[in-house]
Structure 1
Amino acid sequence: MLNTKIALFAALVGIFLTLTGFASPNIKDNSNLLERETSKLILAKNDRYFQTSEQPRIIVKTVNQVDHLTPAKLNKYKRTVFIVVGTKNKKRNVQIYSSKDLHSAFSADVRTNIIRSQSDKLRSNNKKKFNEGLRFVFRACATTIDQRYQYSLDKYDLSSDERAQLSHPHRLALPIALALALVISGLVYFFKNNLNIKR
């Protein structure tokens, strides 16, 4: 009788953990930032990956710090991408890390473009808005993995329009270049006029 009760209790705990996603090694939400929709996306895409021969993974972690976000023992992982969210005193820092075998797919430019494309949402203190940005980041990582292993794209991947956002993320480069051009033109004009006056 006691053994039956213990087994029933263990089964209920197992079902609870599975349904809430806490049992998944792909989600470590220490800061309690992830919405249910975000957790479902992470679990569903990783379940699909589990059915492939390569079995890549995307692990999403939230931690209560904004510095030193590199996952422990990253060099020991294979076919794994980490999306790490650091949060402290309303500050947020989102970083993407990959195992060595995925470095070519997740170059510094690729990682920067993914995060920069959602920078406004990822900095937001609004949980819903933040999760929208995080889901985009996750889907962008999934799309990159799917392209790397030549998997067919599915409903969890970015659309062609969304992929175009990554090619042309919000950048300050153009405004800065224009401002520099104006400053240089102004200086050239100023020095030309001063030289003419002195003559």
Structure 2
Amino acid sequence: MLIFLTQSAFVQPNIDDQSKILNRETKELIQAKNNRYLQTREKPQIVVMTVNRADNLTPKKLNSYKRTCFIVVGQKGKKHNVQIFSSKDLHGAFTADSRMNILRAASDDLRSSNKQTFNKGLRFVFRACATRIDQQYQYTLDKYDLTNEEQNKISHPNRIALPVAMGIVVIVLALAYLFKTVRAEQRISKD
């Protein structure tokens, strides 16, 4: 009994909803996935916290955690600020780019003032974090993870960037051709 208390006393609860914005479906998803993680050898954890402020969202004693990802939702009035943090051992799975891409992929839902829509976006962020952890530890993907299509949405967030880049290349080539033609005509007129 003492060993159980000692080991469990330092575990962060999976949900800390100070702002009371998480709905039942979101809470069930968080609990279900974390319960699956408890059955693994590494026992990673994804903690979802909501706080009544929109800045200074870094969890206290972040550096003392192991195998933990934090999704922190700051709320002040109708404004939401969602951030992803991870313990040092998960920095490979949660690079700055990957965190930004996850949040960008769900940004439309996360900006919503509608609680249901916001929770939909938050569930997407949670599932994306779970997928990153599952890939990090090479767990088999389950129903709580993102589909391949959803993962592509995160991996390639700027699908418009390629057409824009191609347009710029065409414009530059056209200007180079025009410049070359004008210079050739100037040489002919000088001769």
Tell whether 2:13 aligns with 1:32.
no
Q: Does the residue aligned with 1:82 lie in a helix, a strand or coil?
A: strand
Q: Deviations over 1:113-132 (max 9, x none)?
A: 00000101001000010011
Q: Does the residue aligned with 1:146 lie in a helix, a strand or coil?
A: helix
Q: Distance in 1 between matches of 2:115 and 2:71?
A: 17
Q: Does the residue aligned with 1:43 lie in a helix, a strand or coil?
A: helix
Mapping of residues 70-85 of structure 1, within 5 Å: 70-85=58-73
Q: Distance in 2 between matches of 1:76 and 1:125?
A: 34
Which of 135, 147, 168 aligns to 2:135? It is 147
Deviation at 1:85, TM superposition (A): 0.4
Deviation at 1:96, TM superposition (A): 0.3
Mapping of residues 20-99 of structure 1, within 5 Å: 25-99=13-87
Q: Cα gap change, 1:168/1:73 in structure 2, threshold over 3 Å: closer, same or farther? A: same
Q: Deviations over 1:10-37 (max 9, x none)?
A: xxxxxxxxxxxxxx81100011110100
Tell whether 2:144 aligns with 1:156.
yes
Q: Distance in 2 between matches of 1:135 and 1:118?
A: 9
Deviation at 1:167, TM superposition (A): 1.1
Q: Could you tell me which runs of 5 or more consecutive residues in structure 2 were left unpaired when the two chains were aligned.
A: 1-11, 179-191
Q: Cα gap change, 1:89/1:151 in structure 2, threshold over 3 Å: closer, same or farther? A: same
Q: Cα gap change, 1:175/1:151 in structure 2, threshold over 3 Å: closer, same or farther? A: same
Q: Distance in 2 between matches of 1:135 and 1:82?
A: 13
Q: Does the residue aligned with 2:49 lie in a helix, a strand or coil?
A: strand
The two structures, once aligned, show a CA RMSD in angstroms of 2.5
Mapping of residues 100-139 of structure 1, within 5 Å: 100-139=88-127
Deviation at 1:59, TM superposition (A): 0.1
Q: Cα gap change, 1:124/1:171 in structure 2, threshold over 3 Å: closer, same or farther? A: farther
- Is 1:57–1:80's contact at 8 Å kept on the other side of the alignment? yes
Deviation at 1:176, TM superposition (A): 7.7
Deviation at 1:183, TM superposition (A): 10
Q: Could you tell me which runs of 5 or more consecutive residues in structure 1 were left unpaired when the two chains were aligned.
A: 1-23, 190-199
Deviation at 1:169, TM superposition (A): 1.6
Q: Distance in 1 between matches of 2:159 and 2:85?
A: 22
Give TM-score scaled by structure 2 length: 0.78
Q: Does the residue aligned with 1:104 lie in a helix, a strand or coil?
A: coil
Question: Would you say how many aligned residue pairs link Structure 1 and Structure 2?
Answer: 169
**Identical residues among aligned pairs (%):** 63
Q: Does the residue aligned with 1:133 lie in a helix, a strand or coil?
A: helix
The letter of the residue matching 2:142 is D
Q: Distance in 2 between matches of 1:51 and 1:110?
A: 26
Q: Distance in 1 between matches of 2:166 and 2:53?
A: 37
